[in-house]
Copies of this chain bind each other. A is one copy, B any other.
Amino acid sequence: MQPSPMQTWQEKARIKVAETNSKIPEKWRLGKDDLVAAKKQRQLAGPFIESFLDGETLEITSHNSVPLLSKITSGHYTALQVTIAFCKRVAIANQINNCLHEIIFDQAIERAKELDEYFKKHASTLGPLHGLPISLKDQFHINGVDTTMGYTSLPQTLLLGETVNNLIGRSLNPVNQLLSCGGSSGGEGALNALRGSSLGTGIGSSVRLPAAYCGIYSIKPTHNRFSYRDAANTNPGQNTYASSVGFLSSSVDALHLRQSLADSTLSRASTDGYSNSNLQLKLGVFWTDGIVGPHPPITRGLQLVVDTLRGVGHKVVNWNPPSQATARRIHLAFLTADGGHDVHKQLNLSGEPLIPKNFQLREPMPLLQYQDLTLEGRDYCAAYSDYWNATADDEDGQIVDAVIMPVAPHAGVMPGKFYHVVYTEAINLLDYSAAVIPVTKADKNVDTFNSEYEPLNEVDRKNWEAYYPEVYHGAPVGVQLVSRKYEEEKVWVIAKIVSAALKAAGVH
């Protein structure tokens, strides 16, 4: 139904939600009691969602992407079987977790049938992702489907550390409903944690937050390693520090499926040497940025990674780069340089109210100041690069391969308590490549509140006081592994090495 210009934004939103929900077939609808039961669950992922699924659906959706693809390619599953199984799981996921903004089951099933026809006729698959169900953040333009960009769903403007908007409200973390699912690809994170998608595609620094919060894997490439064409964005004319198209999945291997689709004319950092099983990595570890110290579960997560890597012979050195405070100041200035004009132009289309506080309407920044800021950003990147290069001057003569960092100072975030996004933001300014891997879960018995901690400043105090061991109990702890520009392949290989070491050590 076409919204009429006379409708209020609330009416339009109601119509949109009703339309989306109507696309869930009757047979996959949950009863009122089930919905009430879902609200009371702490964890939706795993047994709870699975209690609604039949055997075949469970069996198909339990596979990670790479084995799933082989089963399709070998003819063990048809594309249609796989697609129906994922649609069903997604339908349940959305009813209990509020993570979808568009439902395109019909087109997916149509396409699956075509692929099965093709497979029958040619005895081969069509393209590298034949029959693999993927989800897309509601920022990619798709024929015949709205792109809301958070003006009616997603975190409004995308530039928020939580998934909250005026259409479907808030998406909570399916692993721990006391927490937000985090960041502008939060729905993607939730969906992947609920195994409703084999591979999620998101944009922004925010592919890292939901991965860390939901206990899955993700990769954030350098800008334009994957094309931004046919994707919407907030303030697209500010492209000095632009965001990136990235991927989320429940398996580290699946991330590479998309890597292989990157524009072949673009760069591919050499990973020669990284397949050597005697390889001794040299990694930096960034315990804290000295502005906001991470909560106990995060610090323990970093320590687990460091101990595990050292245990198998890799080197880990402390990381003290140029201050992230500088990166924060410059990046925020760019995001808000237009004085919120782009955001308000979008809001005015429907009249819906603004959510992110940074975007109050004001005078745009004067151009000369904007261009001077570009130079400050350039100098920060150069200083950071110098610091990185200088690790080659250590006695071992070896340059750091990647840096282990917090994704945020907390494992998930309580609604309204995200005070410091700088751990991801600094990497955005640098335009480096980063992968997120899960490490452990917060444990109230181990990660106790240290009441003697002396906060570094007011923001640090607020963040520290937002750590409630009871609330965080069970929340996934991820870390980011950071390499430099265009080193997506390299950082992915390192993520695989580190994940394998964590598995071998029984940590994750």
Q: Which residue in chain B gives the minimum CB-CB distance to A230? A: B382
Question: Chain A interface (Cβ within 8 Å of chain B)?
Answer: 229, 235-240, 264-270, 337-338, 341-342, 364-368, 370-375, 378, 382, 484-487
Contact among B235, B374, B382, B486 with A237 in the assembled complex (CB-CB below 8 Å):
B374
Known: A337-B367, A364-B368. 9 other contacts (CB 8 A): A235-B371, A237-B375, A238-B374, A239-B374, A240-B240, A266-B267, A267-B267, A342-B371, A367-B370
Docked Cα-Cα span, A370 to B338, in Å, equals: 10
Report the minimal beta-carbon distance from A392 to chain B, rounded to whole angstroms: 14
Are B484 and A265 in contact, with the CB atoms below 8 A? yes
Report the minimal beta-carbon distance from A330 to chain B, rounded to whole angstroms: 12
Are A229 and B382 in contact, with the CB atoms below 8 A? yes
Q: Which residue in chain B gives the minimum CB-CB distance to A364? A: B367
Docked Cα-Cα span, A341 to B374, in Å, equals: 15
Are B266 and A270 in contact, with the CB atoms below 8 A? no
Are B338 and A368 in contact, with the CB atoms below 8 A? yes
Interface centre among A229, A235, A371 (most CB of B within 10 A): A371
**Which 5 interchain pairs have the tightest Cβ spacing?**
A267-B267, A237-B371, A364-B367, A237-B374, A237-B375
Docked Cα-Cα span, A173 to B266, in Å, equals: 38
- Asked, given contacts A237-B375, A240-B240, A486-B266, whether A367 binds B382 with beta carbons under 8 Å apart, the answer is no
Contact among B236, B238, B265 with A487 in the assembled complex (CB-CB below 8 Å):
B265
Contact among B236, B338, B370 with A378 in the assembled complex (CB-CB below 8 Å):
B236
- In the complex, which residues of chain B have a beta carbon less than 8 angstroms from the beta carbon of A270? 264-265
Contact among B266, B267, B368, B375 with A236 in the assembled complex (CB-CB below 8 Å):
B375
Interface centre among A235, A237, A266, A378 (most CB of B within 10 A): A237
Q: How often does this chain occur in the complex, in copies?
A: 2
Q: Which residue in chain B gives the minimum CB-CB distance to A367? A: B364
Are B266 and A371 in contact, with the CB atoms below 8 A? no
Report the minimal beta-carbon distance from A259 to chain B, rounded to whole angstroms: 14
- In the complex, which residues of chain B have a beta carbon less than 8 angstroms from the beta carbon of A268? 267-268
- In the complex, which residues of chain B have a beta carbon less than 8 angstroms from the beta carbon of A378? 236, 239
Docked Cα-Cα span, A367 to B240, in Å, equals: 13
Docked Cα-Cα span, A266 to B269, in Å, equals: 7
Docked Cα-Cα span, A267 to B267, in Å, equals: 3
- Asked, given contacts A237-B375, A485-B265, whether A364 binds B364 with beta carbons under 8 Å apart, the answer is no
Q: Which residue in chain B gives the minimum CB-CB distance to A371? A: B237
Interface centre among A342, A368, A378, A487 (most CB of B within 10 A): A368
Docked Cα-Cα span, A438 to B342, in Å, equals: 48
- In the complex, which residues of chain B have a beta carbon less than 8 angstroms from the beta carbon of A372? 237
Are A338 and B265 in contact, with the CB atoms below 8 A? no
A-B contact pairs, 19 of them (CB 8 A): A235-B371, A237-B370, A237-B371, A237-B373, A264-B270, A265-B267, A265-B269, A265-B484, A265-B485, A266-B267, A266-B485, A338-B368, A338-B371, A342-B371, A364-B367, A364-B368, A365-B367, A366-B367, A367-B367
Report the minimal beta-carbon distance from A113 to chain B, rounded to whole angstroms: 27
Are B364 and A341 in contact, with the CB atoms below 8 A? no
Q: Which residue in chain B gives the minimum CB-CB distance to A229? A: B382
Report the minimal beta-carbon distance from A376 to chain B, rounded to whole angstroms: 9
Report the minimal beta-carbon distance from A377 to chain B, rounded to whole angstroms: 9
Are A368 and B382 in contact, with the CB atoms below 8 A? no
- In the complex, which residues of chain B have a beta carbon less than 8 angstroms from the beta carbon of A266? 267, 485-486
Report the minimal beta-carbon distance from A438 to chain B, rounded to whole angstroms: 27
Q: Which residue in chain B gives the minimum CB-CB distance to A235? A: B371
- In the complex, which residues of chain B have a beta carbon less than 8 angstroms from the beta carbon of A365? 367
Are B364 and A486 in contact, with the CB atoms below 8 A? no
Are B486 and A265 in contact, with the CB atoms below 8 A? yes
Q: Which residue in chain B gives the minimum CB-CB distance to A375? A: B237
Docked Cα-Cα span, A507 to B268, in Å, equals: 38
Docked Cα-Cα span, A240 to B267, in Å, equals: 20
Docked Cα-Cα span, A238 to B235, in Å, equals: 18
Report the minimal beta-carbon distance from A189 to chain B, rounded to whole angstroms: 29
Report the minimal beta-carbon distance from A275 to chain B, rounded to whole angstroms: 17
Docked Cα-Cα span, A139 to B373, in Å, equals: 22
- In the complex, which residues of chain B have a beta carbon less than 8 angstroms from the beta carbon of A238? 371, 374
Docked Cα-Cα span, A270 to B262, in Å, equals: 13
